[in-house]
Amino acid sequence: MIDIHVHLNWLGWSAGKIIDYADKTGIDKVCLLGWEALDGAMYYQFRRFSTEEIMEAYSQYPDRIIPFCAVDPRREDAEDKVKQWHSEGCRGFGEHKVRLRIDNPDSIGIYLLCGKLEMPVLFHMDIPLPGVPFWYNADMNGLERVLQECPNTTFIGHGPGWWREISGRSDEDLSLYPKGPIKAGGGIEYLFEKYDNIYAEISAGSGLNAMKRDIEAARFFINKYSDRILYGTDDYFGKSEHLNILESLNLTSSVFQTIVHDNAAKILQL
């Protein structure tokens, strides 16, 4: 098993504690994701997860940790830093979580570079909602332009702004974690059908909510798009809730294995 989304030194989770969690849960490898934003002090609950710390943990557990790098695309040396981290062993880019439109030209430059370096880009997407003081990488229309402009880059979607699009007419419920039946015609389904370089991972409350809000629809979605779904936990690691929901869907062993291992192994070229 591969957990595609874990953060180091968040909520008390040291490298050793993360590996202990992985051992107890049956997870072979964890992807450690960073978070860098030049204006992070203005962000809700911002916590910089430095690539330097990730690489130090990677040096301790090279067989268990897959390092990602996070570089704010507004840095003058952003592309040089991505190249540096790639040369030192980073296999992916993310968590890409900045207050820019997802098709911002600076971001697109990074996406194109990641495509050349064969590094998948894991992004967090939010949208402005009533009472929510933060947003990152809006919007789905911009994402389609990104997928068209960066066909050689693999993207992995995550976050409330992404997972609300599991349902059609998503703007009918403007809560952060929409409830109720999943309707046909969602934005994720549209992108999956049209582009082969976009994936999704089920971590955090957003992915969990998307799976739990309509179990029958989630089962259909997971089975139909099993080759696009990845297992991850984010700030839920140690709780096994994402594994539990997958197991409750009564998936075949082949589909389950595709989600918890095979897709990540393919994207990361393991």
Mean pLDDT by 10 residues, the chain (270 residues): 94 91 94 93 79 97 98 97 98 95 96 98 85 73 96 97 93 85 94 98 95 94 97 83 92 97 97
- What pLDDT does residue 238 have? 65
DSSP, res 35: B
What is the set of domains in the chain, with CATH numbers?
Answer: 2-267 (3.20.20.140)
pTM: predicted TM-score of the whole model, two decimal places: 0.95
Neighbouring C-alpha atoms within 13 Å toward the C-beta of 1: 20
Strands 198-201 and 2-6: unpaired
- What pLDDT does residue 52 have? 97
- What pLDDT does residue 139 have? 79
- What pLDDT does residue 133 have? 61
- Inter-helix orientation angle 51-60/15-25, to 10°: 60
Residue 67 bridge partners (DSSP): 32
User: How far are the Cα atoms of 71, 76, 138, 154, 156 from residue 110, in angstroms, in the given order?
Assistant: 9, 12, 17, 12, 15
- What pLDDT does residue 239 have? 72
Q: Which residues contact 132 (CB under 8 A, 6 or more apart)?
A: 126, 176
- What pLDDT does residue 260 have? 97
Rg of the chain over Cα atoms, rounded to whole angstroms, equals 17
List the alpha helices (DSSP H) in 150-260.
Answer: 160-163, 187-194, 204-212, 215-224, 241-248, 253-257
Query: In whole angstroms, what is the distance from residue 236 CA to residue 241 CA?
Result: 8
* Sign, CA torsion 71/74/75/79: positive
Name the phi and psi angles at 241, rounded to 5: -65, -35
Query: In whole angstroms, what is the distance from residue 225 CA to residue 155 CA?
Result: 15
Q: Is 143 exposed, middle or buried (0-12, 13-18, 19+ CB in 10 A)?
A: buried
